[in-house]
Structure 1
């Protein structure tokens, strides 16, 4: 979860106050900034805003940190797909890394899907499955990082490339709807194939009917 601070600042030996605004900050960064500003004694009317526009007070920050501690946060995820042209079957793979209860976790999952038209549509389906897993894990109202080697999906989801194909557009809209429902801000990042091997392997395993859905500590294989 990220927060932005708005406050009025009155410089020393100055009669006029100035409206100030911070960048988006993590909870820990927010608490650190709050403490520093309070020490000056010159910061007034401090209000914190999350990405939903909800307003939080200084007193809320510590409670918010405790609540966030129990939920998945600092999420980095990956997705990929394998598509068999002859059978029209797809394997979807996705991985999530996050922190929860003071520990780092890794979720690996895959699934098999039929009746998709091509590899790019399979990649879209894998991304949607990833967001469905976010919903299952109660990953909401925060910024998450999503990485993939699918240039089409990444560049279309960031609106750098237009979406002309109707079957892609359907997935694009479904993904945006899911994102809005969860209150997520998504930082999409394209990565080369060699950095997406884990999700790629899961997708290939799904095509072989090797179903995987596991949550383990990050360093446990």
Structure 2
């Protein structure tokens, strides 16, 4: 979760001003608050999230402690491939996340037959990853989604139009799933070279090599 800080600063001679910060992650906001408090000039502070909900410092600290036991700091990689000769698609996803002060990596792939294009396979791979997050009971947190598909990333960002009916349906499914999970996505487009893990899983699925694993890292 990200918040912006709104606080009152008072000089030793009593002059006051109200300050507004840029949006930042909660741990950084709390760290800056501690530093401001050491000056003895911080008189009042509140934190506001993207939904304009106001938090006190104690509420944010409690939120951080509760978050440690839940799945958080999620980075999701996805990739899909389509083989026109067999009309099969390979889906691959990798999830990096933290829980109970430990870091994990989840890898999964799947072979499916009902898709018709590579772009559909890319969307389906992302949907597969979101289903895994549902199984992990992850919810109401920011998430970074990384892929090498210009079409999928830019359509989900809202930067490219989605004229094809099937792709539009997939985009709606992704949006609906994220909304149901209460997740705030940040979409990142990378080169295929930086998406090797998910790409390999998709290729393995096309070769009928199933991969399902969760590992502490």
- Name the residue aligned to 1:96: 95
CA distance in 2, matches of 1:136, 1:92: 18
* Residues 1:11 and 1:163: Cα distance change in structure 2 (over 3 Å): farther
Per-residue CA shift, 1:137-165, capped at 9, x if unaligned?
23322222211111111111112211111
Instruction: Show structure 2 runs of 5+ residues with no match.
Output: none
Do the aligned residues in 2 keep the contact of 1:93 with 1:206 (CA within 8 Å)?
Answer: yes
Q: Which moved more, 1:43-52 or 1:130-139?
A: 43-52
Per-residue CA shift, 1:75-118, capped at 9, x if unaligned?
22210012121332211100011222222211101122221120
- Name the residue aligned to 2:37: 38
CA distance in 1, matches of 2:69, 2:4: 22
- Name the residue aligned to 1:69: 68
Do the aligned residues in 1 keep the contact of 2:8 with 2:16 (CA within 8 Å)?
Answer: no
Do the aligned residues in 2 keep the contact of 1:52 with 1:183 (CA within 8 Å)?
Answer: no
1:30 Cα deviation from its structure 2 partner: 2.2
For residues 1-221 of structure 1, the aligned pairs below 5 Å read 1-18=1-18, 20-218=19-217
Do the aligned residues in 1 keep the contact of 2:81 with 2:203 (CA within 8 Å)?
Answer: yes
Do the aligned residues in 2 keep the contact of 1:51 with 1:141 (CA within 8 Å)?
Answer: no
CA distance in 2, matches of 1:76, 1:105: 11
Instruction: Show structure 1 runs of 5+ residues with no match.
Output: none
Aligned pair count reads 217
1:9 Cα deviation from its structure 2 partner: 3.2
Do the aligned residues in 2 keep the contact of 1:88 with 1:114 (CA within 8 Å)?
Answer: yes
RMSD of aligned alpha carbons? 2.0
SS of equivalent residue, structure 1 residue 71: coil
Per-residue CA shift, 1:14-35, capped at 9, x if unaligned?
55532x2222333321221222
